[in-house]
Structure 1
């Protein structure tokens, strides 16, 4: 069926939701807009789906959400009657249509006789992960587009363990979603009927309180918090998202007394009107928090993305100015703090990071005699390993993180948790303040001990059909003509995760990469340097990761610039 056929099918559907009807009529004479909206079904991948809001098969809307929910409902049915009774728990963020899409999910589930637990208002993604485990449901869903622009929304699926669905489960769900032939003809039960049949249960305080109690268990030095409670000054921004109550309540329960919230960014706002992007990875998101920090002379600024699975931290330097730590730096600091303050580290303890996360983490873990495990990018792989170790008893999870500001301290949640991380970062700042040091001082001590590990990330957004083709062309070019030297640093090995093969350039020998296949190419360079290319699975962009190590800061900075310039100059030629 062509995209024109799908458009006709939608256009002739008499019961099309009125707002979508209006939007569809507005683009009726714009063939490019119609093709973008209908040229393919919105991709349902390993973690769910994410896309721009609007009419069409390639957009997030009432009907594509129903299609995703229909596939998930059939997956739950296939697990048996017990899974249907255990049901589904659904949470949502502050975006346009998030509450409506949450209810639509419950309406589809109800038509299959599957019970849904639904939060009455917005909640953080990690609390949803916790809720799956706490309530014992068969699956979970968060309606969120994380830190994407306001025109986006998404549908993220969690398994019975509270983790994002790993590849094996995802493949089955994707197949069932794709098998839904007509998203306009999916059966639903209306809200009143769901409540009458007890197929919809509204939840709030019980889960909130249970999650808050678990948050208190992550503290390693409560006596330090008590000592610094009135001294450490914290500024917090939830960036118009879901983290306000859990972070503020969590900090209060731990004993912190000097917490200032950025008022202008405290209320949920689907337009994220005070920031160019609601992403703590981007330093502009801290502009208001920095203003607040200067007013109250804050020691640490913390910011969470809209669904509260990512945390950014800014720290005041000796010059009185605030600098946002990178995800790699904050992860290294947290890991060092946790390992150095955990009494009796288990012999089978393990730290998990992704293949594009700094090697600083491995160096820190080695220093404390803790093993490091690499996974593919995506916290679902970290969650999957936690479950595997829990079942086998082979390893004890100590910490997991990725460079994109995602961290997990305790495994009562199975996804990255910015609420846990906000509390841990604050305690860590209190600990170092008690020793007369800032987090910058602590980071410098780690660098002096382990070497100067520096990283950077470049993202290239290429929208539409032509953009997809360009991204594919870049990946093909680097595979067909692999780098042999980057600047004046030689390439030692090439890792192609699509073929699960590592090629050693010295002798041409190969060995297998024991990870699921993924469209990623990584170049391992001399002296612990590396670079990596990875198309995003949820956004129209390709990401370029760079990591270097130097004996001092200057040498590391020079190396990082050289590696970035060499790779990106080649990319620029390809897209021109």
Structure 2
């Protein structure tokens, strides 16, 4: 149907939710807004769905949630997982708890058990809860660090990981088979509670997770004995407060200062421009608190607590925010250097857009490295595979977008685990008379100056989607031969699963298909193009390496300039 027909279908639905009816009335006659709200169904992709709240088939609302939950119910039924059920968590966003309950009501209509957290919880605890409860799957209602007007529906399999493409494809098929989201049947909440098909969960799962969290600590003496070690923590109005505070207390850190103004859940994220620890502005209040308390490390988690950022003082006692690649390198080096009995089959897993710094560090300790596609679901998938085959022992997984996993009791990136380890690493280096920045400089001097950057172009709506497609097509059909004076040695197209070398030789890439292009340059440099799967953006990743910080900084800029020059006529 056309967008007008879809709009009329909603507008004529007599039982339409009152709030959504009001929203429709407010945009009546605004054809541009109506078209954007109805020109397509909100896409349910390999990670679930995410979008703006509001009325329409291309929006997050009670009906698009029911459509997604109906598809998930069919997936659970096909696998006869009704009794195992589904664990459900939600964050601090608008409508999060309501959407969690709606999901349980749809599942309950199919006699599928639901375990719903009684209040907001982090995404990694949901991942853990799926495994702890032996559930057939999981759902988190979250839009991660997106702006306040967004929410999302993220799906997990019975292993506690985000579904890899084949599994997700089955759910997508069932979701697409839902003919009318307005008429999806739901059970009565009170009746589900009375029958036990909807069970509320909380402290028992919390304690089980906290017990496992103790295993993240490598050396308890470090955090218990370093004098005057101070931590500032901010959950950025999200879900991490309780678990991070209790976790830090468990490892003996008592000098912890939570940013009070950002400790309370707030769907508006009112003290920050963006609740994203990748953005330096998110640290402003933590930096002020750090200066007040002479903190050795500042820790920030995003609203659903799967991403973590840290900031540490420099020689001028000004706080510097580390990149995800830098934090990952420090955590990895500490884990491997402190483990005196590394398994011979140990493995570190990162994504194709994550710095090569980690691979070099792992190689230094004799540890194998593996690259996956962008998305932690691929790291979780490999952990499961190695667990079943004993081919490798998982040691650490991370991605440049501030996601880390230390222990595999969760199967998604876990900012709570990363907070524990980051604090310990900072305490360790303080015991050696160094800051984390000084420790990082030591790694650069030993392994080379790896520098990276990320640029994002936001392109919303129909025209934005067309622009993103045009840029990807241009780089495929007219690939650069050099960038920043560096020759292109190979181009990896993950849509065709082919690596084309400069001499024309073509090799097969043994990874799932994805709309990603990576250009490998000489001297261990590279850049990569990837449309975001969760936001209306195209992302450009860059990585360079030289023997000095200055040379790497200059090279990074000229590589970026070459790529930006090519995309200008698309903007």
Provide the TM-score with structure 1 as the length reference. 0.99
Q: Which residue of 2 aligns with 1:116?
A: 114
Q: Which residue of 1 aligns with 2:88?
A: 90
Q: Which residue of 1 aligns with 2:557?
A: 561
Among 519, 522, 526, the alignment partner of 2:518 is: 522
Q: Secondary structure at the residue paired with 1:85? A: coil
Matched, 1:143 2:106: no
Partner Cα distance (2:12, 2:525) in 1: 57
Partner Cα distance (1:483, 1:197) in 2: 62
Q: Secondary structure at the residue paired with 1:142? A: strand
Q: Which residue of 2 aligns with 1:175?
A: 173
For residues 192-222 of structure 1, what are the alpha-carbon distances to aligned partners after superposition, in whole Å with 9 as ceiling and x for unaligned? 1101221100000000000001001111111
Q: Which residue of 2 aligns with 1:477?
A: 474
Q: How does 1:367-516 map to 2 (within 5 A)?
A: 367-505=364-502, 507-516=503-512
Q: Secondary structure at the residue paired with 1:537? A: coil
Matched, 1:570 2:563: no
Note the C-alpha offset of 1:257. Answer: 1.1
For residues 47-70 of structure 1, what are the alpha-carbon distances to aligned partners after superposition, in whole Å with 9 as ceiling and x for unaligned? 100000000000000000000000
Q: Secondary structure at the residue paired with 1:527? A: coil
Among 307, 325, 338, the alignment partner of 1:328 is: 325
Q: Secondary structure at the residue paired with 2:153? A: strand
Partner Cα distance (2:124, 2:100) in 1: 16
Q: Which residue of 2 aligns with 1:51?
A: 51
Among 232, 235, 249, the alignment partner of 2:232 is: 235
For residues 92-137 of structure 1, what are the alpha-carbon distances to aligned partners after superposition, in whole Å with 9 as ceiling and x for unaligned? 0000000000000000000000010000100000000000000000
Partner Cα distance (1:486, 1:343) in 2: 42
Note the C-alpha offset of 1:89. Answer: 0.5
Q: Secondary structure at the residue paired with 2:523? A: helix
Q: Secondary structure at the residue paired with 1:267? A: coil
Q: Which residue of 2 aligns with 1:79?
A: 79
Matched, 1:358 2:355: yes
Partner Cα distance (2:484, 2:523) in 1: 13
Q: How does 1:7-18 map to 2 (within 5 A)?
A: 7-18=7-18
Note the C-alpha offset of 1:225. Answer: 1.1
Matched, 1:270 2:267: yes
Q: Secondary structure at the residue paired with 2:14? A: coil
Q: Which residue of 2 aligns with 1:192?
A: 190
Partner Cα distance (1:223, 1:252) in 2: 14
- Give the alignment's Cα RMSD to 1 decimal: 0.6
Q: How does 1:227-306 map to 2 (within 5 A)?
A: 227-228=225-226, 230-306=227-303
Among 520, 523, 535, the alignment partner of 1:539 is: 535
Q: Does the CA-based 8 Å contact 2:92-2:120 persist in structure 1?
A: yes
Q: Secondary structure at the residue paired with 1:287? A: helix
Q: Does the CA-based 8 Å contact 2:484-2:560 persist in structure 1?
A: no
Partner Cα distance (2:111, 2:37) in 1: 32
Q: Secondary structure at the residue paired with 2:467? A: helix
Partner Cα distance (1:403, 1:171) in 2: 26
For residues 430-465 of structure 1, what are the alpha-carbon distances to aligned partners after superposition, in whole Å with 9 as ceiling and x for unaligned? 000000001011101110110000000000000000
Partner Cα distance (1:388, 1:65) in 2: 31
- Runs of 4+ residues over 6 Å off in structure 1: none
Partner Cα distance (2:288, 2:110) in 1: 51
Partner Cα distance (2:194, 2:216) in 1: 40
Partner Cα distance (1:56, 1:533) in 2: 31
Partner Cα distance (1:198, 1:225) in 2: 43
Provide the TM-score with structure 2 as the length reference. 1.00
Partner Cα distance (2:430, 2:291) in 1: 18
Q: Which residue of 1 aligns with 2:206?
A: 208
Partner Cα distance (1:205, 1:394) in 2: 36
Note the C-alpha offset of 1:275. Answer: 0.3
Partner Cα distance (1:375, 1:330) in 2: 19
Partner Cα distance (1:416, 1:445) in 2: 27
For residues 3-49 of structure 1, what are the alpha-carbon distances to aligned partners after superposition, in whole Å with 9 as ceiling and x for unaligned? 11111110011111110000011111101000000000000000100
Partner Cα distance (2:287, 2:221) in 1: 28
Note the C-alpha offset of 1:167. Answer: 0.6
Q: Secondary structure at the residue paired with 2:530? A: strand
Q: Secondary structure at the residue paired with 1:86? A: coil
Gaps of 5+ in 1: none
Note the C-alpha offset of 1:568. Answer: 1.3
Q: Secondary structure at the residue paired with 2:300? A: strand
Partner Cα distance (1:186, 1:355) in 2: 40
Q: Secondary structure at the residue paired with 1:277? A: coil
Q: Secondary structure at the residue paired with 1:51? A: strand
Q: Secondary structure at the residue paired with 1:84? A: coil
Partner Cα distance (1:224, 1:537) in 2: 40
Q: Which residue of 2 aligns with 1:158?
A: 156
